[in-house]
Amino acid sequence: MNEWTVGATGVHNGRVALVTGAARGIGLAIAAWLVTEGWQVVLTDVDRQRGAAVADVLGENASFIAMDVSSEPQVVDGVAEVLGMFGRLDALVCNAAVADPHNTVLESLDLSHWNRVLAVNLSGPMLLAKHCAPYLRAHGGSIVNLSSTRARQSEPDSEAYAASKGGLLALTHALAMSLGPEVRVNAVSPGWIDARDPSVRRAEPLSDADHAQHPAGRVGTVEDVAAAVAWLLSKNAGFVTGQEFVVDGGMSKKMIYVD
Ligand SMILES: NC(=O)c1ccc[n+]([C@@H]2O[C@H](COP(=O)([O-])OP(=O)(O)OC[C@H]3O[C@@H](n4cnc5c(N)ncnc54)[C@H](O)[C@@H]3O)[C@@H](O)[C@H]2O)c1
C-alpha cells in the first residue's frame, strides 16, 4: 500500500481502461481503483511528470501517456498508442477538467477563459468518445463522464464550469443513443469531494461543520467517486446507460432555506 493506491494490484482481468486527468485527485483514485480490480489502466494527463510518477507507483498494470484532451491530434495519437500497446480498449473515463469552478464576475469574463473551459471539459470528452468509439464497440465497452452537481445548481461566478458540466450531461445521453447497444455511456456528478493530496488533507483537515452539513454526515472522498465509476464500468451495470449518478452525500436533495 502507498499514498495513492486503494489496495494491492489485482489479478489482471484482461480489460483495458483509459482514464483522463489521472495524475491526481479523483482521476488518480479511479485509476488506482481499477488497477485493484485487475484492469490494465492507461493514465493520461497534461502533467507529464506527475502522471508518469503515479503510474509508476501503481505498478505494472498502469502506464502513462501525456495528452491534452482539448487537442484532437493529441487524442488521436494517444488512443493509437493505447491500441499499439494493448490491442484493445474496454473503458473510457473522461475525468480531465479545468476543475476550478470559479470564474471572474460575468462583466469581465474573458471569452478565452470560457472557450478554454468548454474545450477541456466538454469538447475533450467528445473527442475522446469519437476516437475511442470503434474500439469500445468491438468489446462491448463503456464510457463514464465526470460531470458535477454544478450542472444543476450554482453559486455566483461559475458560468463557464457550470455550462461545461451541463453540456457534458447532454453529451452523455446523446452518446448513449449513438453508441448503444454496444457501448454504454453514463455520467457521475460528484458534489464536494476532498480531492486534495493525502498529505494536504492531513495537514489541513476540513472542519466539523464542513462534514456535518451533508445529509451523509461527511464530505466525499475520491474513493466514493471511484467506486461509483467502477460499478458503472462493470458488467453489473449492463442495463444502465445514458444516466447521471449523483455522488454528493445528499446535498442536492437538502432544503437550504435560512429560517
Ligand atoms: N473535487 C470535487 O469536489 C469535484 C466536484 C464535482 C466534479 N468534479 C469533477 O471531477 C473531475 C476531477 O476533479 P478533481 O477535483 O480531481 O480535479 P483536479 O484538478 O485535482 O485534477 C484534474 C486533472 O486534470 C488534468 N487536466 C487539466 N486539464 C487537462 C487537459 N486539457 N488535458 C488533460 N488533463 C488535464 C490536471 O492536470 C489534473 O491532473 C473533474 O472533471 C471535476 O470537474 C470534482
pLDDT-derived band at 2 (thresholds 50, 70, 90) equals very low
Largest Cα span, the chain: 60
Is 258 inside a domain boundary? Answer: no
Q: Which residues contact 114 (CB under 8 A, 6 or more apart)?
A: 103, 159, 160
Number of neighbours of residue 68 by Cβ within 10 angstroms: 18
The atom of ligand 1 lying closest to the CA of 99 is 43
Is 61 inside a domain boundary? Answer: yes
SS3 142: strand
Number of domains composing the chain:
1
Predicted TM-score (pTM) above 0.85: yes
- The Cα–Cα gap between 227 and 61 comes to 19
| pLDDT per position as a tens digit, 174-199 | 999 999 999 999 999 999 999 999 99
- CATH at 143: 3.40.50.720
* Active-site residue, 135 included: no
Number of neighbours of residue 229 by Cβ within 10 angstroms: 29
Residue 188, strand partner residues:
146, 245
Number of neighbours of residue 14 by Cβ within 10 angstroms: 12
SS3 190: strand
Q: Is-contact 119 46, C-beta < 8 A?
A: no
Average pLDDT, the chain: 96
- Give the residue numbers spanning the domain of 206: 16-249
Is 4 inside a domain boundary? Answer: no
| pLDDT per position as a tens digit, 80-106 | 999 999 999 999 999 999 999 999 999
- The Cα–Cα gap between 95 and 101 comes to 14
CA-closest residue to ligand 1 atom 43: 99
Is 110 inside a domain boundary? Answer: yes
SS3 114: helix
Is 256 inside a domain boundary? Answer: no
CA-closest residue to ligand 1 atom 2: 193
CB-defined site of ligand 1, < 6 Å: 20-21, 23-27, 45-47, 67-70, 95-99, 120, 146, 148, 190, 192-193, 195
| pLDDT per position as a tens digit, 113-143 | 999 999 999 999 999 999 999 999 999 999 9
pLDDT-derived band at 10 (thresholds 50, 70, 90) equals low
CA-closest residue to ligand 1 atom 42: 99
- The Cα–Cα gap between 259 and 249 comes to 23
Is 68 inside a domain boundary? Answer: yes
Is 146 inside a domain boundary? Answer: yes
For ligand 1, the distance from its centroid to the CA atom of residue 96, given in whole angstroms, is 5
Q: Which residue is catalytic, options 33, 39, 64, 161? A: 161
For ligand 1, the distance from its centroid to the CA atom of residue 259, given in whole angstroms, is 35
For ligand 1, the distance from its centroid to the CA atom of residue 227, given in whole angstroms, is 17
pLDDT-derived band at 9 (thresholds 50, 70, 90) equals low
Q: Give the pLDDT confidence score for residue 3 in this predicted structure.
A: 53
